[in-house]
């Protein structure tokens, strides 16, 4: 059984056993084997200009004995994480997400910013079925589709159009090793994965809009971005 543990500034998603994970996370990106996926909440003061962020983060993880985990950095308040589990035709997908939109972008364009906004959408997904590496690549594309659909429907307007994500999003998909070669939208894998990510991201975006977004409009700061 997987479990999510919150101990701010850390959020831990225990996959239940070692699995193959595909991501572009700051710690252990690419195809790796890992038991846990972690989030580390940071503020601008934690990362002064000129710092080697990767080395600092490796040190933080080493101090926790988590060198082997896949890990994200986020400025979103990790207590605001959302979680969704969907089962389709025997395939279960569990998604955990933190959604911050203060550095939202529309794909194909960039907004000029006057201050460091690091909102970040970080999504981790655990699948119950064994996948080949090919299927895992397809699975992460489905997760990205679901993220994008949820953010478009959140309706965050930018000068360049509706936001489709942020400039620092990251996704990690975990699954047992297996022989399944496909995880597209027509499959039970894609259906469960897409629904879980869409639901977790939608609820995270709604919470951000009602919380942080309202404070930004009022000019009261960017805490918990």
Mean pLDDT of the 65-77 span = 96
What does the mean pLDDT of the chain come to? Answer: 92
DSSP-assigned letters across all residues of 141-204:
HHHHHHHHHHHHHHT-EETTEE--EETT-EEEEEE-B--B---STTSHHHHHHHHHHHHHHHHH
Residue 121's nearest CA partner among 85, 161, 149 is 149
- Lowest mean pLDDT, pick from 35-49, 151-165, 178-192: 35-49
Q: Which residue has the higher pLDDT, 105 or 50?
A: 105
Looking at per-residue confidence, does 185 or 44 come out higher?
185
pLDDT digits (tens, 9 = 90+) for 184-221: 999 999 999 999 999 999 999 999 999 875 665 555 44
The answer to whether residue 223 scores a pLDDT higher than 50 is no
| CA 42 distance to own-chain centroid | 15
pLDDT of residue 221: 42
Residues 84-123: pLDDT tens digits?
A: 999 999 999 999 999 999 999 999 999 887 655 567 999 9
Give mean pLDDT, residues 122-145: 98
Q: Count, in order, helices (H) and strands (E) of the chain.
A: 4, 12
Residues of the chain with pLDDT > 90, as a percent, come to 83
Please report which confidence band the pLDDT of residue 57 belongs to, taking 50, 70 and 90 as the band edges. very high
What pTM was estimated for this model as a whole? 0.93
């Amino acid at each position: 059984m997987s479990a999510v543990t919150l101990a701010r500034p850390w959020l831990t998603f225990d996959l239940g056993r070692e699995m193959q994970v595909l991501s572009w996370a700051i710690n252990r990106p690419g195809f790796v084997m890992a038991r846990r996926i972690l989030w580390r909440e940071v503020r601008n003061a934690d990362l002064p200009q000129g710092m080697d962020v990767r080395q600092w983060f490796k040190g933080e993880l080493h101090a926790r004995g988590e060198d082997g985990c896949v890990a994200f950095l986020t400025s979103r308040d990790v207590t605001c994480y959302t979680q969704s589990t969907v089962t389709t035709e025997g395939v279960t997908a569990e998604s955990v997400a933190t959604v911050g939109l203060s550095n939202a972008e529309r794909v194909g364009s960039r907004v000029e910013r006057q201050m460091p906004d690091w909102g970040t959408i970080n999504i981790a997904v655990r699948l119950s079925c064994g996948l080949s590496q090919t299927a895992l690549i397809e699975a992460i594309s489905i997760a990205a589709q679901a993220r994008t659909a949820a953010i478009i429907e959140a309706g965050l307007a930018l000068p360049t159009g509706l936001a489709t994500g942020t400039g620092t999003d990251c996704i990690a998909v975990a699954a047992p090793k297996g022989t399944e070669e496909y995880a597209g939208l027509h499959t039970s894998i894609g259906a469960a994965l897409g629904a879980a990510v869409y639901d977790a991201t939608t609820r995270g975006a709604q919470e951000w809009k009602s919380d942080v977004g309202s404070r930004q409009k009022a000019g009261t700061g960017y805490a918990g971005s």
